[in-house]
Amino acid sequence: MPVPSWKSVPPGIYPWETTFNKIFANTNIPRPKGETICIFSDYGGDNQNSLYETISVLYVDLDASNEWEYKRQLVRQKFLPDGRRMSFKNLNDRKRREAIIPFLAAADEISGINVTLAIQKKIKSLYSNKEAKELLEKHLNTTGNWKEYAFERVLRVAHLISFLVAGLSSPNQNIYWVSDEDNLFANDAKSKDMAKVLSGFSGVYVEHTLGELGIGTTKIDEEDRGIEDFASIPDLMAGAVAEITTKLSKTYSGGIPKGLASSLPEKLGPKTDLLCRWLSDNTQKLKRTVIGMCQ
* CATH at residue 212: 3.30.420.10
Instruction: Please check whether residue 32 lies inside any domain of the structure.
Output: no
Q: Is residue 23 part of a domain?
A: no
- Total domain count, the chain: 1
Structural domain including 45 reads: 37-293
Q: Is residue 220 part of a domain?
A: yes
Asked if 229 and 65 touch (Cβ cutoff 8 Å), the reply is no
Does any domain span residue 5? Answer: no
| pLDDT tens for each residue of the chain, 295 residues long | 555 689 999 877 778 889 999 999 988 888 899 999 999 999 999 888 899 999 999 999 999 999 999 999 999 999 999 888 899 999 988 999 999 999 999 999 999 999 999 999 988 887 666 666 666 767 778 888 888 788 888 888 999 999 999 999 999 999 999 987 677 787 888 888 888 888 888 888 899 999 998 888 877 656 678 899 999 999 999 999 999 988 888 877 666 666 555 566 657 788 888 999 999 898 999 999 999 888 7
Reference 195, options 242, 154, 252, 153; nearest CA is 154
Closest by alpha carbon to 37, among 196, 194, 217, 166? 166
119 backbone dihedrals φ, ψ, rounded to 5° = -115, 120
* Helix, strand or coil, per DSSP, at residue 2: coil
Give the max Cα distance, the chain: 53
Does any domain span residue 257? yes
- The pTM of this model reads 0.91
The answer to whether the beta carbons of residues 169 and 113 sit under 8 Å apart is no
Domain contains 210? yes
6 within a domain of the structure (yes/no) = no
30 domain-assigned: no
